[in-house]
Amino acid sequence: MALPPLLLLQDIALTFGGTPLIESAELSVSQGERACLVGRNGSGKSTLLKIAAGLIEADHGKRFVQPGATVRYLAQEPDLAAYPTTLAYVEAGLGPGDDPYRARYLLEQLGLTGDEKPADLSGGEARRAALAHVLAPEPDILLLDEPTNHLDLPVIEWLEGELKSLRSALVLISHDRRFLESLSQATVWLDRGRTRRMDRGFAHFEEWRDQVLEQEEAEHHKLGRKLVAEADWLRYGVTARRKRNVRRLGNLHAMRQQYRERTRAVGTVSMSLAEAEQSGTLVVEAEGISKTYGDRAIVSNLSLRVLRGDRLGIIGPNGAGKTTLINMLTGVLEPDEGQIRLGSNLQMVTLDQRRASLDPDATVTETLTGGRGDTVTIGGQTKHVIGYMKDFLFSPEQARTPVGVLSGGERNRLMLARALAQPSNLLVLDEPTNDLDLETLDLLEEMIQDYSGTVILVSHDRDFLDRTVSSVLVSEAEGRWLEYAGGYTDMVAQRGRGVQARVVEKEAKPRSADRPAASAPARDKRKLSFNEQHDLKTLPKRMSEMEARIAKVQEILADSELYSRDPARFQKAMDALTQLQAELHAAEERWLELEMLREELEG
């Protein structure tokens, strides 16, 4: 017999700005049940989760929580401002009968000491503290909105294990497929304001979704309706793309097998490479390269060869030096020792973590073509811009749409489309999956699999790595990097373990123990320069101020009518947001570099 629900939403409806966001949504969560909530960006997933948490009141419908049941909600942007330390924040979530030691245990597992001041936290550290806050009381119901955002691979895998061990019921929103597949037992699909439920995990979602859409499309045709709406076109294009990707995955497996054979037959391949280097067969060759910051080795005596057509994934915990390594391999950063040789005729396109800014006044077509004509050249082949837009889930009607009125997910797709529209034979992607919805991830995977050039990417997304790369380069700590044929799962099978990051966390973690040492002149080597010490002290406050300013600008841009009412103010706000986000990213990178250096010197 089915257990009675701990949480129940019935016939939920909510309208924003005159447009219905949720029309008739249902959600039922029983004891110990693990459900994932899926849907396109802008479909209302986060809003529905906030209604479930009691933070937003629906216009219509019923919310019921079993008397005595505890509910904890993880927001995408947690607010710790009211608490003096991270430990105080986590302990505030505990109930009278909860274990007080669990708060400190969770903080330690997440790489925090509990002594950190909220104003000094980076976005990733605030996320970790918020996770400890909701996990510590082991509530009856956990509502988690993108819990893996800003987390590296080790913490994601630790979080999976922790959630599996809890008796709490879960409702998850995440773009991380592997995370959803590992944890979910039921899937709730929010589509066009309504929910559908499947009592199976996310691993079965795409097949089920395609069946639903195919049946719906057949019904539309029976009624003689012509499908012209953008939303309909986007949905019904999913099935064909998934079937094409089955073939592409087969090609990827063949590529991995070729890579394994190439690495075994070193002598034969070297001869053919020597004959073909002038034509660009060799893309990157690293010979004994090393890079250190202070006494900390980022890369130590690495030799690596990347050939035309390779797809190389770089993985490791935060702070391992992935971005530094990718900058060295592409010639942006010089190694301290060894040499980097780049192949001939390289044309490189980079999509970094900050993402390139877009002109809000330009149309989608102008953005993709650079304002020149109505065609784009992809992989040496000319394509009409409308056909290219369709590849990235844009309808023909959006050709003249200003970028400024696109949703966040649409802007992400447009940035990817523009990057690909630039002529290139080397694609460098640093955390390309950040803030992408599942359908855009599908597009990115498809694009990489079809790309005729070479790809080097950094990612924490295990499923994305499995679907895209032919080999992975893994941080083995102390600056050592080893290459494995295949994707993330292949690496784990060969290595016998995943990215063991907790050891790294513990080495970098004991800040509370280090701080007293810093105040003892006899033990402190004081190798940091005056400017470095000043930056290390002032950057956290500056980052907090920038985050507050970003939040204010985002409040201005949240006005859906701002662009039509005051284009100049909209443009000014967009420019300010782009600049602030770039400054914040640079400050976070600088602080992380100095913090790692400080810990090495004091350790």
**Per-residue pLDDT, 603:** 56
| Residue 316 region by backbone torsions, left for phi larger than 0, else alpha for psi between -120 and 50, else beta | left
Are residues 24 and 191 in contact, defined by beta-carbon separation less than 8 angstroms?
Answer: no
Are residues 76 and 131 in contact, defined by beta-carbon separation less than 8 angstroms?
Answer: no
545, with CB counted inside 10 A (0-12, 13-18, 19+), is middle
pTM over 0.75: no
> Is residue 33 classed as helix, strand or coil in its secondary structure?
coil
Are residues 402 and 363 in contact, defined by beta-carbon separation less than 8 angstroms?
Answer: yes
**Per-residue pLDDT, 262:** 52
Show me where the domains of the chain are located: 5-211, 249-347+425-503, 510-602
Q: Do domains 5-211 and 510-602 have the same CATH topology?
A: no
Neighbours of 6 (CB within 10 A): 22
Q: Which CATH class is domain 510-602?
A: mainly alpha
Mean pLDDT per 10-residue segment, the chain (603 residues)? 84 83 93 92 87 94 94 89 93 87 91 90 86 94 91 89 93 93 95 92 90 78 48 47 55 65 38 32 92 87 92 89 90 91 86 66 89 77 85 82 77 80 84 76 81 89 91 89 90 79 40 37 48 78 84 80 80 80 77 73 64
Out of 3.60.20.10, 3.30.420.40, 3.40.50.300, 3.40.470.10, the CATH code matching 249-347+425-503 is: 3.40.50.300
Q: Residue 34 — φ and ψ, nearest 5°? A: -120, 110
**Per-residue pLDDT, 121:** 85
558, with CB counted inside 10 A (0-12, 13-18, 19+), is exposed
Q: Looking at domain 5-211, which CATH architecture does it have?
A: 3-Layer(aba) Sandwich (3.40)
